[in-house]
A = this chain, B = another copy of it.
Amino acid sequence: MTALHADPATLPALAAGLLDDLRARRPRVHCLMNTVVQKFVADGLTALGAVPSMTSAAEEVAAFVHKADALVVNLGTLDAGRRQAIGVALDAAAREGRRWSLDPAHCDYSPSRAGFARALLAREPAVLRVNRDEHELLAAPARIATVTTGSVDRITWNGTALRVENGHPLMAQVTGTGCLSGALIAAFLAIEGNAFTAAAAAAAVLGVAGEIAARSATGPGSFQPALLDALANLSPADLIAHARISNEQD
């Protein structure tokens, strides 16, 4: 697998193959998701070809994890109920061998949320997704793939670093594109054993879809339905043609 990471030129084709695979297998992704963007994330996962579920109720989340192929744990709107449900969900995920991505949304705003995020990192998510401010606060060990999103996405793992130079400034004007990124990573984790590859595929898919959506958008409002359309209509050939993935040192 190391060879793959050393040759990012192969990643667009690899991502295109994973996209085909994901649509054929329709993985279930359970989302411990902030209340703000639940529908947007569910629609984004469905547009990609995955099957979302969304409860954060402690009394039923283990049953949903049992049905799921992967999880995303997002720390937005983190109240006591969701904290408890996340604990129950991760216990179930450990028991059932489900992998998960962690999105410590806005943990730089709240020491209590940052502390919880650190405790979750110790439970070994397959991928950590952060923005730059969150990354300054929260560093994962090298064995956990880390996606730092921004105008360029950076993906690091075991001493390797990739850059994914896709996306569009309108994405930053829509609440939830970062949260959706964490969920798409979980969808790819459900079908691809290598977390680094899964994260790169998710970043390229969302970034290329964003570029396509921006062509028809006239602002951040019209961009949102266009983004869901682009995710649903994205072809493996689009991905190969437009994904810009390179080694950081290039």
Contacts and interface: CB of A to CB of B under 8 A. Distances in A.
A194 interface: no
A117 to B, nearest CB: 12
Interface string A218-250: 111111111111111100000000000000000
Given A64-B110, A221-B225, A221-B228, A55 B76 contact: yes
A106 interface: yes
A54 B80 contact: no
Interface residues of A, number: 56
A79 interface: yes
A58 B226 CA distance: 36
A230 B43 CA distance: 20
A37 interface: yes
Contacts of A110: 55, 60, 63-64
A158 interface: no
A55 B77 CA distance: 4
Residue of A63, A109, A112, A228 contacting most chain B CB atoms (<10 Å): A109
Interface stretch (A139-147, A149-157, A168-176, A197-205): A168-176
28 contacts: A34-B54, A35-B38, A36-B42, A38-B77, A43-B224, A46-B174, A46-B220, A52-B175, A57-B79, A60-B109, A60-B113, A63-B109, A63-B112, A64-B106, A64-B109, A64-B110, A79-B81, A219-B228, A219-B230, A220-B228, A221-B224, A221-B225, A221-B230, A221-B232, A222-B226, A222-B228, A223-B225, A224-B225
Interface of A: 34-40, 42-43, 46-47, 52-60, 63-64, 67, 76-81, 106, 109-113, 173-176, 217-233
